[in-house]
Amino acid sequence: MTSVITSVCLLNYKDDSNLLVIVIDTNPFEWEHPSAPLKLNLALKHILAFMNAHLAGRHDNRLAVIASHVGASKFLYPTLNEPTPGSKVQTKKDANVYQVFKVVNDAVLTGIAKLLQDPRPTLEEKDLGSSKIAASLSLGLCYINQALKSDGMGHVKPRILVLTVSPDSSSDYIPIMNCIFSAQKANIPIDVCKIWGEDAVFLQQAAHITEGIYMRPDDPRGLLQTLMFSFLPDMFSRSYLHLPGQDEVDFRAACFCHKRIVDIGFVCSVCLSIFCSFSPVCSTCRTKFAFQPLLPSARRLGAKAGASNPGSPRPSSSSTPSAS
Amino acid sequence: MGKHTEQREQKAEATTFMATNGRRQVEKDDDDFVDVDDSSLQTNQANYAWEEEYKRSWDVLQEDEHGSLAGVVNSLQKAAKRKRQLRDTDPIQRGIIRHLFILIDLSNAMQEKDLRPSRLSLTFTYLEAFIAEYFDQNPISQIGLIGTKDGLAEKLTELSGNPTDHIKALKMKKFMETGGEPSLQNALELARNSLIHVPAHGSREILVIMGSLTTTDPGNIHDTIARLMQDNIRASVIALAAEVQVLKFLSTQTKGTFGVAMNEGHYRDLLFEVIPPTAITTTKASANLVQMGFPARCNDSAATLCACHGKLTLGGYKCPQCGSKLCDIPTECDICNLTLVSSPLLARSYHHLFPVENFVEVPWKDAAMTTACFSCQKTFLSPHKVSVQLQSTTDAGRYQCKLCEKTFCTDCDVFIHDVLHNCPGCLSQPRRRAGGVIA
Ligand SMILES: [Zn+2]
Ligand SMILES: [Zn+2]
Ligand SMILES: [Zn+2]
Ligand SMILES: [Zn+2]
Ligand SMILES: [Zn+2]
Ligand SMILES: [Zn+2]
């Protein structure tokens, strides 16, 4: 308890504003599934309360909200026609609500309502993947990049929070990895709250690599509590708190050929593509492999290489008999 | 390791190589002793930091006829962008599993202060950054460091894939002491002895950083160069003083690169050119599929024995094939010999394979169609607010992805191609079946 209090005090000394980018997974197939423990509109109430808490934490805290839908990913706040918070607002004023909260809440609610009104994505798209987490992360990183650029003083401390319900979409493996590494390079933690369901392997890796928090709440109906206690503290206060860690991190990858998640795979030594079974040609870089079990073909390949390249070498390969 | 050093301990007669400067190519002879002719160095145009003319960077900026700097700034930006657009976006074969030895000259010549603060300390500072960036781009590659002074060569670090080991070694005071003459041959042979044992599917490379114009060798260096060629070892050289014939010969014979550092910035550029994985040239026959495991990290509540050291430890990585626990990855499982790597390490290099297509510039006449950047929400400058004259000298600051037809600002364009390697527009679209064409 004391640690919490000191952190709050220190927070007041530290002069930095937090930019929180929230990615909300709005995949209707998961939210409207009969077995879903929480409905989207109820979850949104929790999320809006959390957003307001973030904005209330400091006068210059900033927020961006991105929806990750099936087949689309778009900004909910700030939106194109309403670029900056605090600028002129078209919405009707409500004397009982803090204006900043109202702008955010309205923008998010109308944005999501618009997304859900759009013709439902066909089932085929659902089969091909879940929601557009990789796209939303890319958007968020671009937004943060711009925000850091325009903030000359280096005061803005960005972080990303992903609220997801969808299972991993393995076709997103490479884009998600690219996002993770650019976030890691820029020191942007990616927090992940998997509201229910199986662990999301790639997002788990994202949180692990960028030193964010990965959590699966015990009871999704208590979402607000999880959000407030685990994801509200900024990076500065986190060093004083004991936040949930990850006991087990799954480092599995998706194979390039079938997008299947594998724990043992064949890796092309030229381009490092991962395949789930042996094939004579790498589909990514078109390298033909010396297939050792079939000796004749291996010898033929070797002979060809020797002929085209007389100066080099049989001796080198014979000096390393235990190669590969 | 001690054996290697001893082998090379016999000193030979000092051999000095002529520094040539383009026009004067002196035939290299091992037994000849040639003085370095300083006068020939100065004949060339300003190649060295101390020969450069005093430059006033503000003179480069010139106002246009309307007294505005916008046009100039814009053309400078364009120039920078053009440099980026030269990038090859074709996926090509690159040797991503690399084995590199860095030979560092630790002779007295490294104390020279023509590169500030001195050749030696600048080298060590740059190498630290180099190693971090190298492992960033070549995640499952290995580096080893070799120092040479007093006619001897010594391994500072063994070939390993752990950046912290190398950086720690670079920070150690004892490795920063200089003395005597370097021995190129001893150092090359030491590196060769380690490199011939690496698996055939990885590359074998040597990077020589040489401050001295002379080397003290026990035998004929041409024999060593021939052996390097035979073993498919590529040697690149960065000379800090001048172009030395034997160093250039070494790099051309082994298909490496050669460069003379003219000033601090140029030195850094030369060094960092070594980092991107080299395009595969001759080693196609040795390419293969390597079976690898991607273990999960586990945290047991009770300590268990690890398979690698036989010690009781708490956390570790579980081999997906045999289930034994190992302390650290990347490694080879001690029980079933499966190569264990962390898949994120592999994924670090995937952007080389699937680069983002270059965006095309949107001309001013089409600029009114878009109002804001798709990815960062920044509003564009409206073409109605920019005078026609200014439009002719500037670009609209909008760049369009040909695939998804979304428009991005300059900042995002650079960020997407240089850092992120994802097009947010393409990713945000409904997924097509693999290979599908966007209608
Ligand atoms: Zn597969
Ligand atoms: Zn390949
Ligand atoms: Zn161990
Ligand atoms: Zn094993
Ligand atoms: Zn932008
Ligand atoms: Zn695109």
pLDDT value at residue B95:
57
> Which has the closest alpha carbon to A73: B402, B429, B372?
B429
Cross-chain residue pair B422–A139, CB shorter than 8 Å: no
* Least confident residue range of B23-37, B170-184, B244-258, B348-362: B23-37
Average pLDDT score over residue span A23-29: 89
For the entire predicted model, the pTM comes to 0.68
**Chain B residues within an 8 Å CB radius of A247:** 298-299
Structural domains in chain B plus CATH codes = 24-44+90-272 (3.40.50.410), 292-348 (no CATH), 356-428 (3.30.40.10)
Top mean-pLDDT range of A188-202, B60-74, B392-406: A188-202
Pick the more confident residue, B301 or A189: A189
Coil, helix or strand at residue A45: helix
Query: Which range, of B53-62, B337-346, B411-420, averages the lowest pLDDT?
Result: B53-62
From A175, which residue of chain B is nearest by alpha-carbon distance? B422
Return the top range by mean pLDDT from A41-50, A258-267, B290-299: A41-50
Q: Which tokens go with B81?
A: 């962008």
Chain B neighbors of A248, CB-CB under 8 A: 296-299
- The answer to whether B354 and B335 are in contact (CB under 8 A) is no
Predicted local confidence at residue B349, as pLDDT: 72
Per-residue pLDDT at A245 exceeds 80: no
pLDDT band at B61 (very low <50, low <70, confident <90, very high): low
For A104-200, list the strands marked E by DSSP.
Answer: 157-164, 190-194
B316 touches chain A (CB under 8 A): no
Q: Answer for the pair B262, B241: CB distance below 8 angstroms, yes or no.
A: no
Structure tokens at B279: 């395009």
Contact B200, B99 (CB under 8 A): no
The DSSP secondary-structure symbol of A290 reads -
Residues of chain B neighbouring A72 (CB-CB closer than 8 A): 428-430
Instruction: Please state the rounded mean pLDDT for residues A180-189.
Output: 89
Q: Which residue has the higher pLDDT, A154 or A82?
A: A154
Task: List the single range of A71-85, A125-139, B401-415 with lowest mean pLDDT.
Answer: A71-85
> According to the model, what pLDDT value does residue A86 have?
45
For residues B312-325, average pLDDT:
86
- Name the band, by pLDDT with cuts 50, 70 and 90, for residue A45: very high
Give the separation between CA B17 and CA B213, rounded to whole angstroms: 6
Q: How far apart are CA A94 and CA B3, in angstroms?
A: 83
What size, in residues, is chain A?
A: 324
Per-residue pLDDT, averaged over A295-313, amounts to 36
* Cα distance between residue B265 and residue B115, in whole Å: 10
Q: What angle do CA A274, A280, A281 make, to 5 degrees?
A: 65
Task: Name which residue leads in pLDDT, A306 or B100.
Answer: B100
Half-sphere exposure of A322 (CA within 13 A, CB side): 4
- The predicted model gives B145-156 an average pLDDT of 92
pLDDT tens-digit series, residues A199-219: 888 898 899 888 899 998 888
| Percent of chain A residues past pLDDT 70, beyond the cut | 74
Ligand lying closest to the C-alpha of residue B93: 2
Per the prediction, chain A carries an average pLDDT of 76
What's the confidence (pLDDT) of residue B431? 61
Q: How close is the Cα of A142 to the center of ligand 5, in Å?
A: 7
- Provide the CATH topology of domain A15-238: Rossmann fold (3.40.50)
State yes or no: pLDDT of A268 exceeds 90.
Answer: no
B294:A265 CB<8 A: yes
Whether residue A78 has a cis bond before it, omega within 30° of 0? yes
With CB atoms and an 8 Å threshold, state whether B285 touches A128.
Answer: no
Name the band, by pLDDT with cuts 50, 70 and 90, for residue B101. Answer: very high
Hey, where are the domains in chain A? 15-238, 253-324
Of B296, B371, B376, the CB nearest to A142: B376
